[in-house]
Amino acid sequence: MLAEVIGFLQQADRIIWGPWLIFLLLGCGCYLMISLRFFPLRNLLAALGLVFHSKSRKGTDGEGVSSFSALTTELAATIGTGNIVGVATAMVLGGPGALFWMLLSGIIGLSTKLVESTLCVRYRVRDHKGKPVGGPMYVLQNAFPYRRMGRILAILFAIFAVLASFGMGNMTQGNSIAEALAVTFGVDRTVTGLVIGIFTILVILGGIDKIARVTEYLVPCMAVFYLFGTGMVIFTHFHNLPAGIWQILWGAFSPEAMAGGSIGFLCSGRQAMRYGVSRGVFSNEAGLGAAGISAACADTPDAVRQGYISMTGVFIDTIVICSLTGLAIASSGMLGQRDAQGEFLNGTALMIAVFSTTFGRAGEWMLTISIALFAFATIIAWEYQGEKAFEYLAGNSRRTGWYRMCYGMLAFFGAVCSLEAVWDFSDICNGLMAVPNLLAVVMLSKGICREIRTYKL
C-alpha cells in the first residue's frame, strides 16, 4: 500500500512539475522583470538598506508587527531545509547543474516576490481584532477582474496553502530534523516527532506576535551560524572549487544524460532544470504567494516599500544561502558518494558528510544544529501562513484551534514518514498553489508594475 502511495505521488509530482509549470514560473518572472525595467535588480542594494533602517523595526499604529519582523517571519518560513536538504536532493537528483537553475530561478524570482508581496499588502483587510491580514486569496477575491472566477481561485489557493503548510512548511521540516538527529545522535524518530509537536504547539498558541518575536532573534543567529560552517567547508576545499563550478555549469546545459567527473550517476540538463527550479521555488517561495501572507501582517501603510523588503528574502534565501550550500557540496567531493548500503548519499546524510570533511565529528553536530534551527523556524512561521489561509476558508478565527492541533500532530507524522513521500507531497502542493497566485499576478501586473516603477526608494 505504501509503495502504491509513493508511486502515485511520484507520478503526480512529475505531471505537475512538468515543463508547463517551469515555463509558467520562469516566464512570469521574466515578464515581470522586463515590465519593471529590471528595477528589482537595480534597486536590490537600496532594498537591503530598507531592511536595516530604523523605520522598519517599528510600526506606525501599533497594529500588526514591524516590517523587519514580518520579513524575519517570512525568512523563517523560507530559510529551512530547502536551503540545506533541498539543495542536496536537487544536486543528487538533477546533478550539480541543478544549482545553476536554482540560482537563476532566484534571480528571476526577485520580480515575482516584489509584485506578489506588494499586491498582498495593497489588498489586505483587517480581522476582528483590527490587525492586518492578507494574502493571494484576498487579492483574488478583492481585485481579480472577473469576480466569480477570482472567488473560486481564492478558495483554491487557500486550500492549496493549507495543504502546503502541512507538507513543505511542516512535514518536510520535521522529517529533516528527525533524520539529522537519528544519523548524528541515534535519537528515535518517534521521540523527535513528539518533541517537535509539543514545542510547535507551545509557540504557535501565542499567535503572530509570539511567532514574530521568536523569528526576529532566531533567524539572524541561525543564518550566521550556518554561513560560517559552509564558508569554512568551501575554504578548506578551495582547490576543488573551479572543478565544482565547471560541473555546475556543464550539468546545467548538457542535452544528454552523462556522468561528470566524480559524479557517480547520470543526469541531463533537463533533469537539472526540473529539480533546480522546483527546489529553488521550494526554498524562496517566489511565485507561490505564501510569503505575501507574512508581508501583509506588517504594520506599514506603504505597500511598495514592504514589497521591496519582502523581495530581499529571495536574495538572502537563494542567492546567498543556497549558493553557498551548493558550492560546499560541489567542492567537498561528496556528491555521488555511497553509504554503507551502497545507496547514494542524499539529503541530510549528504550534508553531514560534507560538513564532516572539514569539521570531522563536530561537523555532524554543526549540521544537525543548523537543520534543527532552520526547520523549527520554518515550522512555526508556516503555521501562521497556513492558519490565515484556513481562517479564510472557515470564515472566522474561532476554529483555528483545530488547525493548530492538527498542525502539531502532523509535525510528528512528518518525522516518521519516508523522505521521498514527504518531498513529493510538498512539491505537489507547491505547484498547485503557484497557479492561482500567478494568474492574479499576471492579471494585475500592469497597474502594480506602473506603481512600482514610479516609486522612489
Structural domains of the chain in order of their starting residue, each with its CATH number: 39-452 (1.20.1740.10)
Can you give the pLDDT at residue 260?
A: 38
| pLDDT value, residue 263 | 45
Q: Which amino acid is at 417?
A: C
The confidence score (pLDDT) of residue 265 equals 47
Q: Which residue has the cell 539529503?
A: 347
Amino acid at 152: I
Do 77 and 294 form a contact (C-beta atoms < 8 A)? Answer: yes
Of 105, 99, 103, 114, nearest in space to 44 by CA: 114
- Residue 126's DSSP bridge partners are 132
The answer to whether 213 and 368 have CB atoms below 8 angstroms apart is: no
What pLDDT was estimated at residue 96?
85
Task: Give the CA distances from residue 94 to residues 84, 98, 258, 316, in Å, rounded to whole numbers and listed in that order.
Answer: 15, 5, 11, 23
Per-residue pLDDT of the chain (457 residues; tens, 9 = 90+): 667 777 788 888 888 877 788 788 889 999 999 999 999 999 999 999 988 877 766 655 556 677 877 787 777 777 766 788 778 888 888 888 889 988 988 999 999 999 999 999 999 998 777 788 899 999 999 999 999 999 999 999 999 999 888 887 888 888 878 877 887 888 888 898 888 888 888 887 766 666 767 777 777 788 888 889 999 999 999 999 998 888 888 877 765 544 433 444 455 566 778 778 877 776 777 888 888 898 888 888 899 999 999 999 899 888 899 999 999 999 998 887 777 777 778 777 888 889 998 998 888 888 888 888 888 888 888 888 899 999 999 876 667 778 888 888 888 888 877 666 767 777 788 788 889 999 999 999 999 999 999 998 7
pLDDT at position 137 = 95
Distances (CA, A) of 169 to 19, 152, 423: 25, 24, 11
CA distance 134 to 112: 17
The pLDDT of residue 398: 67
pLDDT of res. 264: 42
The burial of 61, by beta-carbon neighbours within 10 Å (0-12 exposed, 13-18 middle, 19 or more buried), is given as exposed
**Which of 121, 55, 162 minimizes the C-alpha distance to 297?**
121
SS (H, E, C) the chain: CHHHHHHHHHHHHHHHCCHHHHHHHHHHHHHHHHHCCCHHHHCHHHHHHHHCCHHHHCCCCCCCECHHHHHHHHHHHHCCHHHCHHHHHHHHHCCCCHHHHHHHHHHHHHHHHHHHHHHHHHCCEECCCCCEECCHHHHHHHHCCCHHHHHHHHHHHHHHHHHHHHHHHHHHHHHHHHHHHHHHHCCCHHHHHHHHHHHHHHHHCCHHHHHHHHHHHHHHHHHHHHHHHHHHHHHHCHHHHHHHHHHHHHHHHCCCCECCCCCCCCECHHHHHHHHHHHHHHHHCCCCCHHHHHHCCECCCCHHHHHHHHHHHHHHHHHHHHHHHHHHHHHHCCCCCECCCCCECCHHHHHHHHHHHHHCHHHHHHHHHHHHHHHHHHHHHHHHHHHHHHHHHHCCCCCHHHHHHHHHHHHHHHHHCCHHHHHHHHHHHHHHHHHHHHHHHHHCHHHHHHHHHCCCC
